[in-house]
Structure 1
Amino acid sequence: MRLETQEALSIARQAILATGANDAIASSLATATVSAEWAGSRAVGFAHLPDYLDGFVQGRISKSAEPTITSPAPALTQVDAHGGVAQLGFDRAFDQIVERANAFGVTVFAQVNNYTVGELGYYPRRLAEKGLVALAVTNATAQMTTLDSRKPLYGTNPMAFAAPRGGSKPFVIDQATSATAFVNVRKAAESGEAIPEGWAVDAHGEPTTDSRKAVEGLLLAFGGARGANLALMIEIMAAGMTGGNWSMDAPSFASGSECPAVGLFVVAIKPDLLVPNFVERLAAQIDRLAGQGVRIPGSHLNITELDIPDEVLARVREFKPLA
């Protein structure tokens, strides 16, 4: 179904409100959901919204938590989401993040006790729209392993980077340290499709291309030890530097009544304090790389309208809690 932005926002917001979540939470989460669709990140757009809806109903996500914002140092913003959605804490602190980056040249946002963050690129992209260069990392329930361990060690532990560029939308990279995102494995399992080698292991720790077995197993890091090292680095920032649960200790984001209580860590930099023509230089360099045949992240996207699959919208509109 093709939707206008406001119609999509209304559908998402009403579904969230129907679970008992308050208006502020519904507005923040609906906005992020629709933004993910516009960014081409459909796996964490409307398709991911039922995970939130079930989380509200089952108690994994607070329906009324108001984030607490503190400043342990002038350039640091610390937020406790109190078991709520990550998007609301970021929204509440957003103006402060921008102001401090402009004032100090660099600032850090560290949030703890939130549910999974949805589309990670949403956070640095919004900052890039304000002229900042930003890096965001997060962790989640342990669902990734290595072939050395074959035990749950890390979340998919993604990283996202965004930078402003002249005459165009922000340049954004958003990728997991796993070979793929769990939602992609789950989607393949729902349709009975096989997955590529190197994506996952089954419940016994054996590599598999059977998506249904993979859902019961664990994801693998991309690039072997190198990807696992990046996952650990992100874990240190997203859990260690926020005080959130290590992925190994985080309750499931998909079942039970406990919040994963993981972290979101964002660094924002004012680039023109270092290089006055940064935006123009970046735009020119990206064009130069594209001219050399480099596939620029996001360059293949040409989304002019929201086209949400009927079955996804039906699931959101007629949401029923998971058994």
Structure 2
Amino acid sequence: MAEEEVNLSVAELRDIATRACLACGASAATARSLVDATLSAACHGRPEVGFPHLVDYLMSMVEGRIDAKAWPRIEHPLPAFIHSDARGGIAQLGFDLAYEDLVKRAQTFGIALFSQRNSYTAGELGYYVRRLAADGLVSMAVANAHALMAAAVGGKPVFGTNPLAFGAPLPAPRAPLVIDQAASATAFVNIIRAAADNVAIPEGWATDQTGAVTTDPAKAVLGALLPFGGYKGANIALLVEVLSAGLSGAAWSLDAGDFRSGDRSPNVGLTVIAIDPVATDPSFAVRGADHFRRLEDLGVHVPGRSSVYGADDADVIRIDARLLDDIMTFIPS
């Protein structure tokens, strides 16, 4: 049976999500950062890690995996290096607080880096590069999480899904180029959704507790995700972990806390590298747009949900009614 969906404006969903965050003990700053990132995923990026993932954040605030009132400590160990300790809070708040400084340093030095430890999971990774692309910067973002993925069939979980995102500006009103993908064959939220709906998953996504490949999502939840492309995907996961947990001082995926259970911060890492392309090519965005049109004419899929970027409070978002009910349960009646 098809899921029942309801249409709500961005303004309505912003209000509901904000009230839910505040009801779970979030500070105004934490609520604003988390809701902005959630709406960005729903409107412009990957909806499956937008409002569905918001429920994980809300539950984690209630159960202690997120310090909902944490205020990041931001330092500058080098002129082009910004380092944040999220202090057990959400990843988005530290990035938001450092954002203007990151852009300014990238424009000044040609490249700048933001790295953060001791946070909850980074959410939709495209959010970080999408914002920087809107300000004319090329960027890459990487993040690790607790061990969910084996390096190969039969192995134990050693990496998170360890996503990597890349963004590049294009002339307005065209949406920026945003590539956002996990090192795993699929995102963990897709396994959870399939288990809830009792729907089989494709072969090659995951293994069961014995290390055997499975199409049963309930067994996959107790087993391990698999990397895309075999050892090549596992190599990407290792690269991501070195850049995110290694540079930031966060926990390696083997040591990180579970983002869905327990009462402590996962202490995972996020690193964002921003580059100013106009340093060598003032026409970078226009030249890129021309090239991407050629690629599209040749049948290449260039990532991006729409040709026009930007949403206002008149826009409507379709949301699963059950998901909306789950979010509403956090708001006192």
- Alignment TM-score, normalising by the size of structure 1: 0.96
1:281 paired to 2:292: no
Query: Which residue number corresponds to residue 296 of structure 2?
Result: 290
Q: Deviations over 1:134-169 (max 9, x none)?
A: 000000010000236611100000000011011311
Q: What is residue 227 of structure 1 aligned with on the other side?
A: 233
CA drift of 1:40 comes to 4.1
**Residue 204 (structure 1) shift:** 1.2
On the 8 A contact 1:40/1:301 being kept in 2, the answer is: no
Post-superposition CA distance 1:60-114 (Å, at most 9, x none):
0002110111000111111100000001001100000010011111000001101
Alpha-carbon distance in 2 for matches of 1:63, 1:143: 25
Indicate conservation of the 8 Å contact 1:128/1:170, yes or no: yes
Q: Is the 8 A contact 1:43 1:183 kept in 2?
A: yes
Look up the match of 2:328.
317
2: distance between equivalents of 1:52 and 1:147?
30
Kindly indicate whether the alpha-carbon contact (under 8 Å) linking 1:50 and 1:319 is maintained by their aligned counterparts in 2.
no
Runs of at least 5 residues in structure 2 that lack an aligned partner in the other structure: 1-5
> Alignment partner of 1:82: what SS?
coil
CA–CA distance in 2 between the matches of 1:149 and 1:128? Answer: 40
Superposed CA offset, 1:165-215 (max 9, x none): 113111100000000000001100100100011100001111101111111
Question: Does the aligned pair in 1 maintain the 2:24–2:330 contact within 8 Å?
Answer: no
What's 1:119 paired with? Answer: 124
Q: Residue in 1 aligned with 2:3?
A: none
CA offset digits 1:16-59 (Å, max 9, x no partner):
11111111111110111111100241211111111111111111
Which residue matches 2:13?
Answer: 8
Q: Which runs of 5+ in 1 are unaligned?
A: none
Structure 2 distance, partners of 1:19, 1:210, is 33
Tell me if 1:254 matches 2:260.
yes
Structure 2 counterpart of 1:130: 135
Within 5 Å, give how 1:92-111 maps onto structure 2: 92-111=97-116
Distance 1:18 1:86, change over 3 A: same
Equivalent position amino acid for 2:179 in 1: I
- Structure-1 residue corresponding to 2:144: 139
Tell me, yes or no, if structure 1 residue 85 matches structure 2 residue 96.
Answer: no
Q: What CA distance in whole angstroms lies between the structure 1 residues aligned with 2:97 and 2:11?
A: 22
Q: 1:199 to 1:54 in 2, by over 3 A?
A: same
Q: CA deviation at 1:305?
A: 2.7
Aligned counterpart in structure 2 of residue 39 of structure 1, from 34, 38, 44 = 44
Q: How far apart in 1 are the matches of 2:156 and 2:274?
A: 34
Output the aligned Cα RMSD: 1.4
Q: CA deviation at 1:319?
A: 3.4
Q: CA deviation at 1:300?
A: 6.4
Residue 299 and residue 30 in structure 1: after superposition, are their counterparts in 2 closer, same or farther (change >3 A)? Answer: closer
What is the aligned-residue identity percentage?
A: 50
Normalised by the size of structure 2, how large is the TM-score? 0.93
Change in 2 beyond 3 A, CA 1:148/1:186? closer
The secondary structure found in structure 2 opposite 1:204 is coil
Aligned residues: 320
Tell me which residue corresponds to 1:27.
32
Letter matched to residue 149 of structure 2: M
Q: How does 1:98-247 map to 2 (within 5 A)?
A: 98-147=103-152, 150-167=155-172, 168-247=174-253
